[in-house]
Amino acid sequence: MNLARSLQIFELMRLAVPVWDGRVSPLLDVAARLMVVDVIGGEPTFSEVHPLAGPGRVRAIAELGVEVLICGAVSRDLEDELVASGIEVIAGIRGEVRAVVRAALRGSLMQPRFLLPGAQSRRRQGRSPKPRAEAEVR
């Protein structure tokens, strides 16, 4: 299921993108900032940049309520921890952050211009997704 399809099912979601100089940070493991975007009815309604540092990276991302994380490269260990926390990870993505978010919401993120060179994007869903309130389901 693509992100655009997910948004047809759920009215509210929170996605995040590690940022560096207005672009998707090349490596999540060392990214210093995380843009968190609230999406309602398929449209971004609010975004805020949070500091991201230190060993508590997965916990910090989870505590922000992130459901989907779009990133560049990520180590397998960090990706495994995020997925185990119920966060869907879409890795191997590059580009200007706002363009990446728009493409993700439209279901067109897998275009070559958004894929890291020499890598195919991979998407892993959390094994135990966070429960959603009934009001969030159409």
Q: How far apart are CA 117 and CA 12, in angstroms?
A: 32
Contact 45, 15 (CB under 8 A): no
Residue-level pLDDT at 53: 84
Contact 73, 90 (CB under 8 A): no
Residues 39-89: tens digit of each pLDDT: 998 889 889 999 998 889 999 999 999 999 999 999 999 999 999 999 999
**Are the C-beta atoms of 74 and 91 separated by less than 8 Å?**
yes
Measured distance CA(48)–CA(89) in Å, rounded: 19
Q: How many helices (H) and strands (E) does the chain have?
A: 4, 7
Q: How many other CB atoms are there within 10 angstroms of residue 67's CB atom?
A: 20
Match domain 3-126 to its CATH number in 2.60.40.10, 1.20.210.10, 3.40.50.460, 3.30.420.130. 3.30.420.130
At 13-45, the pLDDT tens digits run 999 999 999 999 999 999 999 999 999 988 898
Q: Are 83 and 59 in contact (CB under 8 A)?
A: no
What does the pLDDT look like over 103-129, one tens digit per residue? 999 999 989 999 998 766 566 655 444
